[in-house]
Amino acid sequence: MLLALDTSASYASVALTQDDAILAELTWRVENRHSSELLPRVQETLRAQRVTPAQLDAIAVALGPGSFNGVRAGVATAKGLALALSIPVAGVPTLDVMAWGARLAPVEVWALLDAGRGEVYAAVYDTAGAATQPETWTPRALTVQPGAEPGGYHILAPEALAAVVRDGATLTGELRPAARAALIGALAGRARLLEPAEPRRGGWLATLAQARLRAGRGETPATLEPIYLRRPAITRSARTDVAALSGAGSAAGEEGERLAL
Amino acid sequence: MASDTSPVPMRILAIESSCDETGAAVIEHGRLIRSNVVASQASIHARYGGVVPEVASRQQLSAIAPVIESALEEARVGWDAIDAVAATYGPGLAGSLLVGLSGAKALAFARGLPFIGVNHLEAHIYANWLRDAASPLPDSMPVADESWPGDPAFPLLALVVSGAHTELVSIPRHGVYELLGQTRDDAAGEAFDKVGRLLGLGYPGGPAIQRAAAARDPSRPNPYTLPRAWLRGSYNFSFSGLKTATLELTRQVAQAPVEGAAINDIAAAFQESVVDVLATKTVRA
Ligand SMILES: [Zn+2]
């Protein structure tokens, strides 16, 4: 049995699968409560199927890009589970997972996630023929800046993104209203933007992870690394942590997340 | 080793990731250190002159699994020998904390073990109860007792000083804390970091300033003294005035050619001022 975890964006999803069948899947709007809500939902999902952690054979996790702390909560949880159960873990880029859900769309499919600063994380996938196999599902290499190496995963402004989208393409993902509006304006009706709530991802993550595991591309907790795409912002530590001995232990951080037990 | 008649040790895997160090330890009976593995990022943050939260969080995620594996290996125990998992829940940097916390909760869930969230300051205080497992316990050791010979005796006074903390705490008994005083501005460790940077001694400032101060000739009287912020009538601390005074002094001294000896003198004067205030207030309390 495989447990799949995706907390890379404002929707989170967990799925439990056996062979290629989905036993349970739970997708919810998590906002930035990734670290406090993930494990309770995992527990719920396993309990509903009367499955114990010891019965798991592998862990799948979405690697990002996305919310830095969201990705970290998912990857740290996956590492902990895999370490404690001595089972392999397979990481899958989050954009691959999102695009897989729209693989039957014509022309090409774009997976998009908010990257902040008015930009989006973007990758494009060919949807014709052999490309739509879980084993070979990777983004098309693209040169988005003159002189740059072609690559699969990009950070683009909505206008730059619209300039490389083919007519009739399908775009899926989670964008903030401003980025979404800018993109719709720039596309001028040439391509279709799916609704933000459409991503249902735990099961797709499981499918892509299973293909990696079968191909011997599982990883260990020590080697599993997330995908951030952005370099870290060099900011000073804002420690706001005095006199909390009797308090509930709230922690102020960059994303303003409240850590709860 | 404790005698055969002593109870089976309760072993806790303890994980700490609140800032720029990733730590994992296997602790027996709540205080015997069977292993204690720490991955430090100090050399990474040195080039920025301080801890960069996003860099620290990323390093935490890379280090967490190997550090936990090493802690188990060094303690020569497998998962079956672990009875509970503990982790720091705060205060600290959110991105760093959630790595250890998420990992520890996942470990506990997967193994069906209790999870214990621990306050960071409380952990600093209770570090005083820890003992090196290498020094053998006498056979008659009452390991099941709450109190061991040589433990700190209540009522206690704790001065917590680190990169993020400067707190004076009264502890009448286990788990009961009364905050007597804290810093009004910078933590003592932060002040050390900033002054270390100012004097060009590098990061982290604490050890760098200590080294510079120790390098001066002790037989020669220090030409510099720096002010102490006593904040009379309270057990609070303040280090921002001292920081400014150190900056001004450094500027004055820099009018003349600055040599290593002057830097070391200033470092010593700064350190003396901080330690004097901390020690005097603690003794008075
Ligand atoms: Zn600390």
Residue to test with chain B: of A8, A34, A38, A242, most B Cβ within 10 A: A242
Q: Report the C-alpha gap between A6 and A13 in whole angstroms.
A: 5
Name the pLDDT band for B50 (thresholds 50, 70, 90): confident
Q: Report the C-alpha gap between A2 and A23 in whole angstroms.
A: 10
**Tens digits of residue pLDDT in A39-65:** 999 999 999 999 999 999 999 999 999
Which pLDDT does position B119 carry in this prediction?
95
Which pLDDT does position A196 carry in this prediction?
65
Relative to beta strand B166-171, strand B156-161 is antiparallel
CB B118 within 8 A of CB B88: yes
Residue A249 has pLDDT above 70, yes or no: no
Average of per-residue pLDDT across A11-15: 95
Q: Do B57 and A72 touch (CB under 8 A)?
A: yes
Residues with CB under 5 A from ligand 1 (ion): B 162
Name the pLDDT band for A241 (thresholds 50, 70, 90): very low
Range list of H helices, B130-239 = 188-198, 205-215
Q: Which residue of B has its CA nearest to A80?
A: B103
- Give Cβ neighbours of residue A43 (< 8 Å, ≥ 6 apart): B109
Residue A199 has pLDDT above 70, yes or no: no
Name the pLDDT band for B261 (thresholds 50, 70, 90): confident
Which pLDDT does position B259 carry in this prediction?
64
Rounded to the nearest integer, the mean pLDDT of chain B is 89
Which pLDDT does position B79 carry in this prediction?
96
Q: Which residue of A has its CA nearest to B165?
A: A242
Chain B closest-CA separation from residue A109 CA (Å): 30
Q: Report the C-alpha gap between B34 and B75 in whole angstroms.
A: 5
Which pLDDT does position A253 carry in this prediction?
31
B148 phi/psi in degrees, rounded to 5: -105, 150
Type of residue at A236: R
Residue A247 has pLDDT above 80, yes or no: no
Residue B163 has pLDDT above 90, yes or no: no
Rounded to the nearest integer, the mean pLDDT of chain A is 87
Q: Do A35 and B190 touch (CB under 8 A)?
A: no
Q: Which of B64, B106, B190 sits opposite A81 (nearest CB)?
A: B106
CB B155 within 8 A of CB B171: yes
Q: Do B97 and A259 touch (CB under 8 A)?
A: yes
User: pTM for the complete prediction?
Assistant: 0.88
Q: Do A79 and B106 touch (CB under 8 A)?
A: yes
More confident residue, A165 or B132: A165
Cα B120 to middle of ligand 1, angstroms: 6
Name the pLDDT band for A235 (thresholds 50, 70, 90): confident
DSSP element (H, E) containing A26: strand A21-29
Cα A39 to middle of ligand 1, angstroms: 26
Q: Report the C-alpha gap between A105 and A35 in whole angstroms.
A: 33
Residue B7 has pLDDT above 50, yes or no: yes
Cα B195 to middle of ligand 1, angstroms: 20
Residue corresponding to tokens 């919810």 = A28
Chain B closest-CA separation from residue A45 CA (Å): 13
**Tens digits of residue pLDDT in A107-143:** 999 999 999 999 999 999 999 766 689 999 999 999 8
Chain A closest-CA separation from residue B217 CA (Å): 35
Type of residue at A184: I
Lowest-pLDDT range of A202-206, B132-136, B267-271: B132-136
Q: Which of B66, B95, B183 sits opposite A69 (nearest CB)?
A: B95
**Closest by Cα among A119, A168, A123, A169 to A142:** A123
Cα A241 to middle of ligand 1, angstroms: 10
Residue to test with chain B: of A39, A68, A83, most B Cβ within 10 A: A83
Which pLDDT does position A76 carry in this prediction?
98
